[in-house]
Structure formats: C-alpha cells, structure tokens
Amino acid sequence: MDWFPLYNSLRVAGISTFISFFVGIFAAHAIAKAPRIVKGVLDCVLTLPLVLPPTVVGFFLLKVIGPLGPVGSRVLELWGFRMTMAWYSAIFAGTVVALPLMYRTARGAFETFDVTLLYAGQTLGLSDTFLFWRVILPNCRQGILAGTVLSFARALGEYGATTMVAGYIPGRTAMISTTVYQLWREGNDALAYKWVGINLAISFGVLVSMNMLENRYTRPRKSSAPIFSEPKRFSEPKREL
Amino acid sequence: MSIHVDIRKFFDGFTLDVAFEAGSEVVGLLGASGCGKSMTLKCIAGILRPDEGHIAVNGITLFDSEKGIDLSPQKRRAGLLFQNYALFPNMTVEQNIMTVLKSGGGYSSGRGRGRRDALERGLRLVERFHLKGLERHYPAQLSGGQQQRTALARIMAGNPAILMLDEPLSALDSYLRWQLEGEFLQMLEEFEGTTLYVSHNRDEVYRLCKKVCVLHLGRSEGERPGGVRTVRELFESPNTLASSILSGCKNYSRAEKITPRTVYAADWGVKLDCSAPWNDTSPDDIAYVGVRAHHVIVRPAFGEQGEGANVFPCRVLRVIQDVFSTIVNVQPLSAQPLSAEGGEFSLIRTELPKQEGQFREGDIVSAEIKPENVMLLKSS
C-alpha cells in the first residue's frame, strides 16, 4: 500500500493550520478592535469560505493563482514555478477553508476576554506586547486551541477546492480525500475502505481531543468573585444614596 | 504630592465634566451609580481619553489637550485598583507581583537594580500585605480579601505616584467589609501620594476620607478649580440637592426665600424659619430645603403644644418597624398630596427611637423641625 496520500494529507493540513493559526489570531485581534463597519465587512469576507461551496472557492483560487491568474502568472514569470497542480497547491485551498474556523473561534475568545486585565496591566507599566503574549493569549487558550484543532480537521477533510487546484496525481498531489474518490471510480472498494478507515480514525481522534478541550472550556470556571467559607451572618444593609 | 484634574468628555446625552485639586491626602469621589466616577479614574489612568482638559500628578502633566500631551497608561504611574481586582488568572500571587517588579520599564524606580533586588522587594510586599503562604496560589483559589490584598501588593510593586481605588469594598459582604476597612485605613495612611477613593457609600467615605468631591450626572460640584470639600463640610452643610442626597438626607421640598431667615417649603405648604449656623442669611438662589429624618420631631396629636414656629400638622401615612428604630412617614396636611409633580417630595420620612403602637396610620400628629436643622440647598 502506498502511504503517500496519508503523508501528503497530514503535511498539507499541518501547514494550512500553521498559517491559519497566525493569520486567524492576528485578524481576530485586529478586527476585535476595529470600528463597527470595518469589522462587519472584514468579518463577512473572512467567514465567506465557510459557507461557500468548496468548488466556488476552488474556482476563485484557480482564477487568482492559476497560470493565467494575476498572482499565478506573476509568480511563474518571476520564479518560474506553477502554483497549481503541485502538492503545495492544496495548502492554498486548505488555508482558505480553515482560516474562517480559526478566525471565528479566536475572535469569540478575544471577545469574552476580560478587558480590565489588559487595562490593569497597562496601568502597572507592562508593555502591550508582553500583555498580548503573557496575559491575553494564555487566558484565551481554550478558544484558540479549539480553533486550531477545528482548522486542522477542516483542512484534512477538504476535497472540492483541493481537487480543483491540486488535482489528483498519484505520488505527487494525492491526498486521502482525492484518493478515496479515485479508488471508488476505479471500483477498488477494498483499498477505498482502508483509506476511509484511516480518515475516520484521524477525524475521530481530532474530534475526541476537541471534545476534551470543550469540556474544559465549558466547565464553570472558578469564579473570580469572593469565595467565603463561612456563611453570611448579616444580610447586606440596604444601600442608601 | 498633588493632583490636578480638569477634564471634559462628551457622549450622546452625557457629558463628563470633572475638576478638582488635591494634595497628598485621601480624597473621596462620591456619587450615585453611573455618575462618571469610574470614568474619571480611567481618564486619569490613561485608559480613556478625555476630549479636552488637563491632568497633572505631582507637577507632571499626564494629559493636556491644548499642548497635545497624552502619556500612555504605562508611563503615568497611576495605580488603579479595579472593582474586580483584575488579577491575571493564569499567574500565581507571586507571578502577579513579580511580573510588575521585573518589568520595571520606565515605571518603577528599580530599573536595572537586578533580579535579586526585585525578589527582595517582592518578599517584602508579600509580608506587608499578609500574603505569606499564598505565594503559589492562583487568584481563583483566593478569597475576596486575599485577592484584594494581592491586587494592592501588585499596584505597590509598580511604585505608583497616585493611588486610585474603585469601590474597593463594594464586592465584599458586609461582615468582611468591616475587617477590610481597618486594613484599608492603615494602608491609606502609609501611602505618601494622593489617594482617590471612589464610592457611592457615604459612610465609607466619611470614615476613610478626609476630603470629598461630589459628582452628580457627570459633573463635579463645588468651586472650580478646587472642587473638594472636607468630609465634615459635606455632611454638616451640604449646599446642593445632589450632595445632600449623597450625604444621606431623606426629606426635600422645593423652596422659595421669603425673608433672609424664612423660606416657604412649597411641597409641604409650610413656612419654615431657618438659622443655619454656617450661614447668617439664606442665599438668594436657594431652590430646595432638606431635613434629615432624625431631625423631624413627631408628637402625637396636634394642637396640644400650640402652634409654635416650624410646627405643623401631618397625617401619618405609614409606620415601618426597622431593626433599631421606627420609621414614620408623614405628609403635611397643607401639602398638595395629589399633584403629580413633587408628589414624592411631599412625603416626610422621620426616624424615631424604637417604639410600638404609639402612632397608627391615619393619625393626625404634629411635626416640628428646629430652625437650625433646616438645610438650604441650591439646585446644583
């Protein structure tokens, strides 16, 4: 059995996740602070690939990075390689479809972040960079991890746009998703089952780890309100103006 | 050691307009919820940007809209204790404090004195704020009081030029509040610079602060640029409706001046002599009179004592038994009870020593307000 599709799928999904991790967090952080109209527009643009059919995403990608597209032709001219029909072409497709998930979950995490922590840090003289890496990110950890896992799962499961920009070339651009389709077309059910099983196992593992994160995330956090061991003896006096 | 604040910030339907000056003392910022107290602190700390004005601490200008000065919060050395303390949840007590000590940048005087020195200062802070044994605890594992001490230690680690406390005791239950208030008093005395103490609780302000600045609907009262009064002044002779409400006065009536020593309380329909000891003659622009609940003397049955000055008949509307006193709500017979506007003002709330059965609802009684207890108030 040729293990290339597994290796290629993991490689493409891994790199796509890596890129969407940084782009997604940066976009989420920047957009959370943006004025309302800018926020609305950018939010739509970044979320669009989530709701578009993958073939539409693939179509757009081909028009942009294809050998005749504005980016694709420039790259071919300058460095002499094609951006489509290579193993790394799938990374473009994977990143575009995974980014919305990373961006959305990260933004949700930033929005629930208690901004007084940031203010407190600033008045204490801590730099904004320090506060981003040591206070904001750690306190949004659950959301960001969840986004990363989801992005990876989505990039791994991508088929439509991938097959359009990377095609199916055994040993060069084949991924699990495209391999299963090809095997089914050839009537090679036995091998198709094997790949289906492998894909199920990976997806299952990803979702289980995701659930473990979710559990931790949804469990009531220890409240920051005062915890008193002794019972209240006096009722609060009614506040007077 | 001083602070000078004179700022304005405009919103739809709300304008913050605060001006006050203070030396190295504890100054209370007193006002009802939503009057802009916290916002003022945030402007001083640099978290919010006023639209215009001037802020200076110890002679250093932090903000000046005319000269275009607007220091970043990091450079202002303004220690702000948030209502929820804002400890970093992902760091232990030790880390919360040491983070600030180590950063040092442009803020603490301990720049470049090295790690050993920072550790030593951290240890001293832990001892001073009774946090020994809790160094490795996360904020979620601490009680409210411990969290607050940690937050204060962290602020002190930053070596602030000014200390600002935003309702520090309001999140705690009343039992614990008493204990913490003692600690607070001691700590406030140790701090050398100006302390701004924000609260809506007059008792707290009275006990902890020497001076007070009253905020009403976003505006600071009092003469500009001074703006602050001593606490005694506020409680003994509030001069505006808002400040007398904040000082705990419960009874008001719109009023007109008749002679320098008599006013007509319109909502009560009575003429009152007044002889405020702090003021020989009543000012021309008085708009209200106020009387504290325990200054109204209520006697059963009207007419027996005769109609002296400031004695008028009332109907008892309601008798409420409080824990240590009896509250009797009365309404002057001469009041226009059913007028929609001012209906709330026509009521007089009195507080008598605990008693049962002496007054019943519907009784006619006599009420007396001694001339020295009539407070003359301006509308703002």
Query: According to the model, what pLDDT value does residue A180 have?
Result: 92
Min Cα distance A113 → chain B (Å) is 11
Pair of tokens at residue B50: 């006023």
Q: A41-57: per-residue pLDDT in tens? A: 998 999 999 899 999 99
Tens digits of per-residue pLDDT, A109-138? 888 888 899 999 999 999 988 999 889 988
Q: Which residues contact B341 (CB under 8 A, 6 or more apart)?
A: none
Is B247 at the interface with chain A, CB within 8 A? Answer: no
Quick check: A238 pLDDT over 50? no
Distance between CA atoms of residues B168 and B170, nearest Å:
6
Q: Where are the domains of chain A?
A: 4-115+122-218
pLDDT tens per residue, range B169-223: 877 777 777 777 887 788 888 888 899 999 888 888 888 888 888 888 888 876 6
Question: Count of residues for chain B?
Answer: 380
B296-300 and B311-321 beta bridge pairing: unpaired
Rounded CA-CA distance B103/B96 in Å is: 11
pLDDT digits (tens, 9 = 90+) for B285-322: 788 888 888 888 888 876 655 567 788 888 888 888 88
Contact (CB<8Å) B84/A116: yes
Is B77 exposed, middle or buried, given 0-12, 13-18 or 19+ CB atoms closer than 10 A?
buried
SS3 string of B304-318? CCCCCCCEEEEEEEE
Which of A122, A124, A229 would best serve as a mutation to test chain B binding (most B beta carbons within 10 A)? A124
Q: Are B374 and B289 in contact (CB under 8 A)?
A: yes
CA distance B368 to chain A (A): 24
Q: What is the largest CA-CA distance in chain B?
A: 82
Tell me how many degrees the CA angle A237-B41-B22 measures, rounded to the nearest 5. 95
Low-confidence residues of chain B, pLDDT below 70?
104-114, 222-226, 276-284, 302-307, 336-344, 380
Interface check B355 vs A, CB under 8 A:
no
Nearest to B74 by CA among B29, B108, B111, B25: B108
Reported as a single tens digit per residue, the pLDDT across A165-220 is 998 988 888 999 999 999 999 999 999 999 999 999 998 888 888 777 665 544 44
Closest CA relative to residue B98, chosen from B138, B162, B153: B153
Which of chain B's residues have a Cβ under 8 Å away from the Cβ of A227?
142-144
Structure tokens at A121: 């840090």
- Cβ-nearest to B86 among A120, A125, A235: A120
Shortest distance between the Cα of B75 and any Cα of chain A, in A, equals 7
Sheet holding B364-369, edge to edge: B296-300, B364-369, B311-321, B325-332, B348-353
Size of interface A-B (CB pairs under 8 A): 118
For residues A179-212, b (16+ Cβ closer than 10 Å) or e, as one string? Answer: bbebbeeeeeeebbeebeebbeebeeebeeebee
Structure tokens that stand for A66 in this block:
């294809």
User: Which superfamily, per CATH, for A4-115+122-218?
Assistant: MetI-like (1.10.3720.10)
- Contact criterion met (CB < 8 Å) for A226 and B176: yes
A227 in reach of chain B (CB within 8 A): yes
- Closest CA–CA distance from residue A30 to any residue of chain B (Å): 18
Nearest residue in B to A229, CA atom? B143
Name the minimum distance, in Å, from the CA of A210 to any CA of chain B. 22
Q: What is the ipTM of this complex?
A: 0.77
Does the beta-carbon distance from A229 to B201 stay under 8 Å?
A: no
B 112-171: CB under 8 A from A = 139-145, 147, 154-155, 157-158, 171
pLDDT, chain A, mean = 84
**Structure tokens of B227?**
């703006």
For B53, residues 6+ apart whose C-beta sits below 8 A from its C-beta are: B5, B6, B7, B8, B63, B64, B65
Q: How far is CA B92 from the centre of its chain?
A: 33
The pTM of this model reads 0.74
